[in-house]
Chains A and B, each alone.
Chain A
Amino acid sequence: MSEVKIDKKLDIRGAVCPYTLVKSKLGVEAIEVGQVIEILLDYPEASDSIPKAMLNYGHSVLKVEKINPREWIVQVRKEVED
């Protein structure tokens, strides 16, 4: 699998719902359509809810990966204008 180019990294460790989503949404608003954002989070529920919310907004979720026992990364490609 080819490596995805990451245009923006967002660290939302320490944030809990719904601020995980608030911060992720603002992160996606700050990039252009076609660009990819990588979100680093440590709130377990958000590893499930953020990808679902991003799909609902019309974006693509490229990857959801548990990188250690407490942290996840979620890669989202912006597909539609806000």
Chain B
Amino acid sequence: MDFTEEQLKRYSRHIILPEVGGKGQKKISDSKVLIIGAGGLGCPVGYYLAAAGVGTIAMVDDDVVELSNLQRQIAHSVETLNVKKADSAKKTFEALNPDVNVVAIKERLNSKNILDYFREYDIIVDGTDNFPTRYLINDACVMLKKPLVSGAILRFEGQVTTIMPHDGPCYRCLFEEPPPAGLVPSCQEAGVLGVLPGVIGALQATEVLKLIIGKGTPLKGSLLIYDALGVNFRKVKVPKNDDCPVCGKNPTITDLTDLPEEYCSI
């Protein structure tokens, strides 16, 4: 593979790693990653993946940038207030690395469009924090057998897991159904430390890069829980559920359906 002199410089710290090298860097530049949510999690995930040289990054978000986002959503700025978040993130990531093609998808995912979007990409990243979308994303990834790197945050705590459909548990193996609306507070109601999505998003980006280069152990079958106040990382094992309604032996969910949404863009 041929790198330009600029690329040799830009990716030098990757290329000299035995686990990456020129071959791994080529895999990174050939890869296509779709990130749902250009918010607290999506910003750092997309930012680091753009820096790493991921060839195509899709940012899915239909919201616009608000001042209250800027405490944690680091791809946006006062320059992009009221601009669609997907466009704002595209501008930031392409300024960081012109090698990267950022696709701004300014739509809400639903049961009708999700499979068509996901099919085009190698890896899916969940940076939403509403349960209906989270379950829709999970089910779509299971049906398409797409690796899913999932993150969630609230207050001072975050969690990450990597779902390898049929080769480990999925989100429904852990919690079969979403909790009733209103039971789990959103970050709008409960708050979130601004740096927390940075920590969790960086972990998600790490998982994505490991999957792309095929090195290390994916965080499958475990939920990694980070408690910022106590400075604890806990890894909780999650078994695959043979009776899982979507990835089990006799799945009962074979079509995608839309649940009522109570959206919160982290």
Interface string of B15-26 (1 = CB under 8 A from A): 110100111000
The interface on chain A, measured as residues whose beta carbon lies within 8 A of the other chain's beta carbons, has a size of: 12
Q: How large is the interface on B (under 10, 10 to 19, 20 to 34, 35 or more residues)?
A: 10 to 19
* Contact flags B57-91 to A (C-beta < 8 A → 1, else 0): 00000000000000000000000000000000000
Tell me, in angstroms, the Cα distance from A29 to B14 when the chains sit together. 14
On chain A, the residues within 8 Å of B8 by CB distance are 19, 22-23
Q: Which residues of A contact B12 (CB under 8 A)?
A: 18-19, 22
What number of A-B contacts does a CB cutoff of 8 Å give? 30
Residue of B nearest to A30 (CB): B22
- Quick one: which of A19, A56, A82 contacts B23, CB cutoff 8 A? A82
Task: Render A1-41 as a binary contact track against B, CB cut-off 8 A, 1 for contact.
Answer: 00000000000000000110111011001000000000000
Check if B9 sits within 8 Å of A29, measured CB to CB.
Answer: no
A25 in contact with B21 (CB, 8 Å): yes
Give bound CA distance, A68 to B253, whole Å: 73
Closest to A80 in B: B18
**Are B22's CB and A25's CB within 8 A?**
yes
Minimum CB distance partner of B19 in chain A: A82
User: How far does the Cβ of A28 sit from chain B's closest Cβ, in whole Å?
Assistant: 9
Contact for A22 among B16, B18, B23, CB less than 8 A? B16
* Interface class of chain A by DSSP: helix
Q: Is B263 an interface residue (CB 8 A)?
A: no
Tell me which residues across on chain A come within 8 A of B22, comparing CB atoms. 25-26, 29, 82
Is B3 close to A, CB under 8 A? Answer: yes
B3, B18, B23: the one within 8 Å of A57 (CB): B18
Q: How far is the CB of B59 from chain A (nearest CB, A)?
A: 30
Residues of A within 8 A of B13 (CB): 18
A18 to B13, CA, bound (A): 8
Instruction: Identify the closest chain B residue to A28 (Cβ).
Output: B21
Set of chain B residues within 8 Å of A25, measured between Cβ atoms: 15-16, 21-22
In the docked arrangement, what's the CA distance between A18 and B17, Å? Answer: 12
Closest approach, in angstroms, between the C-beta of A24 and any C-beta of chain B? 9
Q: Return chain A residues, CB-CB under 8 Å to B15.
A: 22, 25-26
Q: Which residue of A lies closest to B9 (CB)?
A: A19
Cα-based distance from A23 to B3 in the complex (angstroms):
10
Q: Which of B3, B9, B18 contacts A26 (CB 8 A)?
A: B3
CA–CA, A26 and B16, complex, Å: 9
What distance in Å separates the Cβ of B28 from its nearest Cβ neighbour in chain A?
Answer: 15
CA distance A29 to B1 in the complex (A): 10
B30 to chain A, nearest CB (A): 16
Contact with A along B21-58 (1 / 0, CB 8 A): 11100000000000000000000000000000000000
Measured CA separation A24–B12 after assembly (Å): 12
Q: Contact check, A18 vs B21: say whether CB atoms are below 8 A apart.
A: no
Interface set of A (CB-CB < 8 Å, partner B): 18-19, 21-23, 25-26, 29, 53, 56-57, 82
- Can you pick out 9 interface pairs between chain A and chain B where the beta carbons lie within 8 Å of each other? A21-B16, A22-B12, A25-B21, A25-B22, A26-B22, A29-B22, A29-B23, A56-B18, A82-B23
Q: Residues of B with Cβ closer than 8 Å to A?
A: 3, 8-9, 12-13, 15-16, 18, 21-23
Query: Nearest 9 A-B pairs (CB), nearest first?
Result: A26-B22, A22-B12, A22-B15, A82-B21, A29-B22, A21-B16, A18-B12, A22-B8, A82-B23
